[in-house]
Structure formats: structure tokens, C-alpha cells
Amino acid sequence: MNHSTRRLGTWISSGSPVITELAALSGFDWVLFDLEHGNGTEADLPNQLRGLKGTSSRGIVRVGAPREDTIARYLDWGAHGIMVPHVHSAVAAEKIVRAAYYPPRGARGFSRSVRAYDYGMNAVTPETFKPLLIAQIETGEGVHAAKEIACVDGIDVLFIGPADLQLDLRVRPQSAPGSYEDCLGLVSEAARTAGKAAGILLRDLSDLQKHLTLGFEYIAVDSDLSLLRKGFHQINQALPVPSP
């Protein structure tokens, strides 16, 4: 898998394969299927992944928790990568890698008959598959450990979770590495020094250039539900207010 291409993504929180297909056809390099906070379930995931077929868009799944069986199953179903929330240490990052990789690097079981290998029609060896693994940095503790997490072989991206990180810095100021802006710089620098990428979710497209300048490469802009909400609100705001 080539991770050096364009890296603009968006969040799919609805669980809809139709919206997934539309996002992929619109040219996003990757889409994030959110099984932590999103409305879709594990049962929805195979059809969402099928919505990417025939496009160049990559499907990344955010798991609710880094369970080994869950990570392996989503990769078997054809996910191109896994995002894990709340990664606080190199030990936690290493567990993610072990769950996603086949031996000897990891402990994942191998089957040629899964969807990722076209149900056995695609000749493949375990050594040829390299999943994209994204560790979310969402606490001051995670920022403190960013250098060590970035150095874990197999972790590809350190990804800021803005809402959780800002909440953690606000409620635990005594353990904060600095301001939110300081944390952005620390995580970006940790990733760059280790030869990895830094990523972030943005809610406002106007923030894109700023974060590119800060060194963020894997950038997701908004979510399907947020875009729909904004569009519905804009339509309603445009309607004249009825006279009393």
C-alpha cells in the first residue's frame, strides 16, 4: 500500500454506504468509518467498504476499543487501515501493531479466503500486506508520549483528536504539556522526527492551510452528518419568517 499519495479525508458518521460512495466518487483520498461515536454498526461496515470499490479512496475504520479480534476482522473485511482512539503510550501502540500484523511482527491470524484477498481469488502472502495504522493523540498524556509512540514500528500516523485533547487540557491543566497550539507543534514534530505523518480532524475548511503549514499531512475535513446539518440549517435560514 502506498501511503505517499494525497491524504485528504472526511468522516463518515452516518453508516450510509450511499454517502460513502458519494464521498469516494467526489475524490477524497480516504474516508473514516467511525465505529467509536458514529451511527453505523459493525454490521454496516462491509457494505460501506463496498461503496469504495472501483475508486481510489481508502477506507479507514476507527474502532471503539483496540481489541485484537476487532482489528483483525475489519482488516479481513477489506479496511485499508485502522484508527485507534486514546493512545497514551508506546506500549498501547505496540499492541495495535501486534493486532494488525501477521507473524512475526504481530499475532494476527491469516486467511486467504477473506474479502481483503477477494475471497481467495487474489494470490497473496502475509508479507505483502501493510495496513495503515493511525494512533490518536487525545490527551496530555498522549502528547507527552508522542515521541515514543511515533517510534513504534508499524504506526504510520499520529492523529490529533481536537475535541478530546482540548477537553483534557482544560480539565487536567496540571498535566498539560502546554497550550493546545503547543500540543499541535509537539505532535507534528514527534511524527516528523520519526519519519511518520501527523494528522488531524478539522471542522472548518478555512483551517486547512494553517495545519498544512504546521506539518499535518493526513487531514480530515468535517463529517457527513455535520455537512448535512449545515446544509439543512442554511436552507431553513433562507426561508422567510412567516408573519404573525
Which residue among 37, 86, 144, 233 is the active-site one? Answer: 37
Annotated catalytic residue 88: no
For residue 104, is the peptide bond before it cis, meaning its omega torsion is within 30 degrees of 0? Answer: yes
Positions marked active-site: 37
